[in-house]
Structure 1
Amino acid sequence: MEALNLLESFVRSAEAGSFSAAARQLGLTPAAISKNVARLESHLGLRLFQRSTRQLTLTASGEQFLRQVSDPFSTLRDAFASASQDAGKPAGVLKVSMALAFGREYLVPLLGEFLERYPAIVPDWHFENRPVDLIQDGFDAAIGGGIELTDGVVARELARTHIVVTASPAYMKGRPLPKHPRDLAVLDGIVRRSGSTGRLRAWTLRNQVGEEAPAEHRTRMVFDDPEAMAHAAMLGFGVALLPTPHAARWLESGALMRLLPGWYADNGPVSLYYPNKKLLPPKTRVFIDFVVDAFRHGGLATRFDAR
């Protein structure tokens, strides 16, 4: 086990590019990681890293050693994790990344049933509105949309999501309901700004027969968060074009109403991302199966489909 620990410190440091990042992944101090790597170098009689105050880089010997040990180490680590399960049951800390509002609304309510089935698993869930690097950041899985598929990561689609036109009943009281996207032009708009580009989002709506039309309204306010847009719409400030995961709850409760119910825009899928390994740890495998089943048979996928 000591040799495995030394190898893990080396592999994590090489992948992350620093002892500090490896330490965060493994729950150790940077000094402990550095000591483990130094001991491994002593055992091998090789210098694996060039160290400086600004960066950590592999030597030629380190690069060759990393290529030789990466796949065998990954398989060995997964075998240890599988063999160490409590009485053959999935166990251990399950590190998952998900968007704040989405995770709170749709994943947290599933915890009760999940923990009842797998009491030895400890969820370590990170709620953050940013893409993560599963491999470098040490996540077992991530749930969201638009995460880049880097080497060693696969995606499993959970549901298609759409953009729908919403407003509060109070805002629409006394106003004629729009019958076509062009009718939105006379309504106040709660517009979304892209967090990555800073530009205002523009949507082209389509209907079931394939007709397309831009959704244009008067810009009343600009937000960069769809959850905030939903709440502003419920307060009666105007019309908001919302992703269905952010709109579903309020549409079902009646706090928001859907305008132009035959029209929508594609918003891409919500997917479950996880490392592409031959031998997934049991805790990760059962989590994947549980979430896929919740979306497929628990009705979540249907709630997000606006067609």
Structure 2
Amino acid sequence: METMGNLVSFVRSAESGSFSAAARRLGLTPAAVSRNVAQLEANLGVRLFQRSTRRLTLTEAGERFLANVGSGLESVQAAIADVATHAGQPAGVLRLTAAPGFGCDFLLPLMPGFLQRYPDVTLEWTFENRQVDLIAEGFDAAIGGGLELAPTLVARDIAPAHLILVAAPAYLSAQDPVRRFEDLATLEHVAMRSVQTGRIRSWMLQGPDAQKRPLDLTPRLLVNDPQALRQCARLGLGVALLAVPDVLADLESGRLQRVLPDWSVDAGQISLYFSSQKLLPAKTRAFVDFLVGQAREQAWATRLNAR
């Protein structure tokens, strides 16, 4: 395979009609340019120039080769120049994925600051309530929990993944007080089917003294989306088990309140997943550093902790 130096020396010599003029454009000696062209001719097995003491003239084979390689060489050089110019600078399309609730409430509000800091990056978000295959689906990073940590992936924890029981204050005020875990059976429940399995998951709740009890109740209403489940709780249809990020704003406003606040589900961590490759693209590295920093500044580890 020909080196870029040989090809560039040939094209510039053909354009200028001499090795000396080509050498001045390339910052080389005339001897070096002549050597590169000779090597190219030897490799191709054809003579590309008719040489004289005054000027270089393309042979018929040389004219055909110049026509075929000339425009392509310019494109390659432009591509190399672009990469060199942006080396280490965050640029390009950054494909990201997260759950809709967490994405809209916690991640999108951070994006004006990110885009202002990195104006050459274009963000493409995909919000879905499912586990993705980061590499196979072409995402640069994913935010969520429970992704299989393949050897090609790295996970940076950004917040605890805790689930809590919530209900509308008006609904709770019309019921008998719930003081013990067993009192949950007196309340109506709304729940969500798993998007992956279609089943109603039985969660294990942990109490104040580290005791564990399964939440195994028959729901009155089923949905397939966390935001729909939150709306059911807001409407006073019963008690719902939801992730803290999905209900934090409602808890802070008083629109929802916790039921048995000493009990919660520990579902692990909300993590930022990205490729473990050593030469991580600058756009991805910038996003990782930005998000980890924002999570720390906004105290997500404390605000989203159910305990």
TM over 0.5: yes
| Contact 1:177–1:259 under 8 Å retained in 2 | no
Structural mapping, 1:1-307, within 5 Å: 83-85=84-86, 89-307=89-307
Counterparts of 1:136 and 1:174 in 2: how far apart (Å)?
A: 50
How far the C-alpha of 1:237 sits from its partner, in A, is 0.4
| Contact 1:182–1:215 under 8 Å retained in 2 | no
CA distances 1:208-267 after superposition (whole Å, capped 9, x unpaired): 321222335452111222211111000010000111121212111111001111111112
Q: Cα–Cα, structure 1 residues 168 and 80, in superposed 2: closer, same or farther, change >3 Å?
A: farther
> Could you tell me which amino acid in structure 2 is paired with residue 256 of structure 1?
L
How far the C-alpha of 1:82 sits from its partner, in A, is 6.6
Counterparts of 1:131 and 1:218 in 2: how far apart (Å)?
A: 26
How far the C-alpha of 1:176 sits from its partner, in A, is 2.7
Counterparts of 1:177 and 1:116 in 2: how far apart (Å)?
A: 50
Q: Cα–Cα, structure 1 residues 82 and 181, in superposed 2: closer, same or farther, change >3 Å?
A: farther
Counterparts of 1:199 and 1:216 in 2: how far apart (Å)?
A: 13
| Contact 1:186–1:217 under 8 Å retained in 2 | no
Unaligned runs of 5+ in 1: 4-78
TM normalised by structure 1 equals 0.69
> Could you tell me which amino acid in structure 2 is paired with residue 93 of structure 1?
V
| Contact 2:129–2:195 under 8 Å retained in 1 | no
How far the C-alpha of 1:272 sits from its partner, in A, is 0.7
Over aligned residue pairs, what C-alpha RMSD do you find? Answer: 2.2
Q: Cα–Cα, structure 1 residues 275 and 82, in superposed 2: closer, same or farther, change >3 Å?
A: farther
Counterparts of 2:170 and 2:155 in 1: how far apart (Å)?
A: 41
Counterparts of 2:284 and 2:267 in 1: how far apart (Å)?
A: 27
Q: Cα–Cα, structure 1 residues 252 and 221, in superposed 2: closer, same or farther, change >3 Å?
A: same
Counterparts of 1:209 and 1:235 in 2: how far apart (Å)?
A: 32
Counterparts of 1:182 and 1:83 in 2: how far apart (Å)?
A: 65
TM normalised by structure 2 equals 0.69
**Matched residue count:** 229
> Could you tell me which amino acid in structure 2 is paired with residue 183 of structure 1?
D
Counterparts of 1:81 and 1:150 in 2: how far apart (Å)?
A: 32
Counterparts of 2:237 and 2:142 in 1: how far apart (Å)?
A: 34
Q: Cα–Cα, structure 1 residues 169 and 80, in superposed 2: closer, same or farther, change >3 Å?
A: farther
Q: Radius of gyration: which is bigger?
A: 2
| Contact 2:145–2:161 under 8 Å retained in 1 | no
| Contact 2:175–2:187 under 8 Å retained in 1 | no
Counterparts of 1:149 and 1:103 in 2: how far apart (Å)?
A: 21
Q: Cα–Cα, structure 1 residues 98 and 82, in superposed 2: closer, same or farther, change >3 Å?
A: farther
Q: Cα–Cα, structure 1 residues 103 and 80, in superposed 2: closer, same or farther, change >3 Å?
A: farther
Counterparts of 2:304 and 2:110 in 1: how far apart (Å)?
A: 17
Counterparts of 1:252 and 1:90 in 2: how far apart (Å)?
A: 37
1:14 alignment partner in structure 2: none
Counterparts of 2:224 and 2:128 in 1: how far apart (Å)?
A: 15
CA distances 1:188-226 after superposition (whole Å, capped 9, x unpaired): 000222222222222222123212223354521112222
Q: Alignment partner of 1:149: what SS?
A: coil
The share of aligned pairs that are identical, in percent, is 45
> Could you tell me which amino acid in structure 2 is paired with residue 97 of structure 1?
T
Q: Alignment partner of 1:136: what SS?
A: coil
Counterparts of 2:155 and 2:218 in 1: how far apart (Å)?
A: 38
| Contact 1:167–1:240 under 8 Å retained in 2 | yes
Counterparts of 2:200 and 2:217 in 1: how far apart (Å)?
A: 12
| Contact 1:162–1:268 under 8 Å retained in 2 | yes
Larger deviation, residues 134-143 vs 228-237: 134-143
Q: Alignment partner of 2:220: what SS?
A: strand
CA distances 1:33-85 after superposition (whole Å, capped 9, x unpaired): xxxxxxxxxxxxxxxxxxxxxxxxxxxxxxxxxxxxxxxxxxxxxx9987342
Q: Cα–Cα, structure 1 residues 142 and 232, in superposed 2: closer, same or farther, change >3 Å?
A: same
Counterparts of 1:158 and 1:214 in 2: how far apart (Å)?
A: 27
Q: Alignment partner of 2:86: what SS?
A: coil
